[in-house]
A and B are shown apart, each in its own frame.
Chain A
Amino acid sequence: MTEPIIKFDKVVKRFGSHTVLDHLDFEVNPGEMVTIIGPSGSGKSTVLRILMTLEQIQDGVVTVEGEPLWHERKNGDLVPASEKHLRKMREKLGMVFQQFNLFPHMTVLRNLTEAPRQVLGLSKKDATERAEELLERVGLSDQASKFPHQLSGGQQQRVGIARALAMRPKIMLFDEPTSALDPELVGEVLKVIRQLANEHELTMLLVTHEMQFARQVSDRVCFFDKGRIEEQGPPEELFTDPKRERTREFLKAVLDPDA
């Protein structure tokens, strides 16, 4: 059996008195493509944000590649992680945001080269080469010198994906990457994500409302409800034969809204 690359062990996350993740246990294997679905407020995005170290946890342990994320081992004890440890752990992860969050004052090319140069210390030449290669992969080679606001939403999100990939992460986190897009632009972004999933090099975690897409590309689908995994399994199984009542209700509501 392979060692999971991501492991949540009884993780608790609260915002004030509201519990978002309630002793969550969750594992992802290397190279796996896992989709997280569920109603809003079920803690789906929080899982990604905790992994990207944008949200702290209150209890439990998250490990990435066997190393605790929010903790450090010191004399056999787990102590809260230092900024240095977090920086080291962040190298393993890349994130794509719902609102793209591109840097508006930089050209597309510079959006892709800035972090590799400043954070990884790549030379300008190497960073540019890497960026051009990625732009070609997402089909935007001709847009390199434009600013984000000159692109369509779908193009911006493809830049967002390329920007995250430029850091060569092992794990990619997609936080509702198509939710802010006009319907006709969703396809071009999903196509890029599908390509990545087919390459099986990255471990991918995707939070989405695109059920058709989840069904086609995922190795596993997790249905989140009230801060826990209500049900999970291979997509065919979960979508055609859900075991839990709550899953059935949710799938019925999203797949067949006017029934």
Chain B
Amino acid sequence: MEWTEYFAPLMRGAWVTIQLTVWSTIFGAILSFAAGIGKVSGNGFARWISVVYIEIFRGTSLLVQLFWLFFALPVAGQAIGVDLRMSPVVAGVLALSLNIGAYGAEVVRGAIQSVSHDQYEAARALNFTPRQALWRIALPQAIPEMMPTFGNLAVQNLKDTALVSLITLQDLAFRAEQLRNFTQDSTTIFTIVLFMYFGMALVLTAIMKLLERSVGRWKTARA
């Protein structure tokens, strides 16, 4: 097998990796906002749920979460008579989203709390409800602050997708391992894969930078 023939299977794997990254980053972002806002909410129950979620998923290994969702949960479901089996894709996206969401939640919370107290006072003086103050005053100022860290988390997430090969998902890492078993050409294959991950990370970083610029336009407006 010529080394140029490696590309077809590797590209198929890369496509799976890209899909996993995109979906889990989107769901992770939604979870980040839900739990991050929950953690600063006035509602005690919402705060409690958010803290439990964040601590559990930050405090355990992604690999174990993945195995638990894919292997342990269906067995536990069977014991109580519920079918909790899921496809590798669903388990993979779910584990990655829950994991990145827990880290992202802390970023969202921190950014919301960094909005100056004066802004909340101005909102109160103008008779905004606390909810309006959050959505219309605080969050639009907090989101640009979150973006650099979100960029890091998205790249982290891309690299973490390699773990899903362990629950039979045929992503880039899975394909690489398959090729290596077949050809024993470790050096070439893993060098190519290294560059492919690096290339994807570069593109992702560029996208996040564009996003960062678009949500922070008001900051750079010139006279």
Seen from chain A, the residues whose Cβ lies within 8 Å of a Cβ on chain B are 52-54, 87, 90-91, 93-95, 97, 99, 101-106, 114-115, 118-119, 146-147, 149-150, 163-164, 167
Contact = CB atoms under 8 A, between A and B. Distances in A.
Contacts of A90: 124-125, 127
B223 to A, nearest CB: 5
Contact of A114 (B121, B136, B141): B136
Contacts of A52: 124-125
Given A54-B124, A146-B223, 14 more contacts: A87-B127, A90-B125, A90-B127, A94-B125, A97-B118, A99-B118, A101-B119, A101-B121, A101-B122, A114-B126, A115-B127, A119-B126, A147-B221, A164-B126
A104 B218 contact: yes
B178 interface: no
17 contacts: A54-B125, A87-B129, A90-B124, A93-B125, A94-B125, A95-B125, A104-B219, A114-B136, A115-B127, A115-B128, A118-B132, A119-B126, A146-B223, A147-B218, A150-B222, A163-B126, A167-B126
Contacts, number: 62
Interface string B141-182: 100000000000000000000000000000000000000000
B201 interface: no
Contacts of B141: 103-105
A147 B128 CA distance: 21
Interface in B13-55: none
B137 interface: yes
A106 B137 CA distance: 9
Given A97-B122, A146-B223, A105 B127 contact: no
A155 to B, nearest CB: 11
How would you classify the secondary structure of chain B's contact residues: helix, strand, loop or mixed? helix
Contacts of B222: 150
A40 B126 CA distance: 26
A214 to B, nearest CB: 23
B140 interface: yes
B127 A150 contact: no
Nearest to A98: B118
A5 to B, nearest CB: 18
B144 to A, nearest CB: 8
B151 to A, nearest CB: 20
A159 to B, nearest CB: 12
A99 to B, nearest CB: 6
A163 B136 CA distance: 16
Interface in B87-108: none
Given A104-B141, A146-B223, A119 B128 contact: yes
A207 B122 CA distance: 17
Contact of B140 (A105, A119, A146, A147): A105
Given A97-B118, A97-B121, A103-B119, A119 B127 contact: yes
A114 B136 CA distance: 9
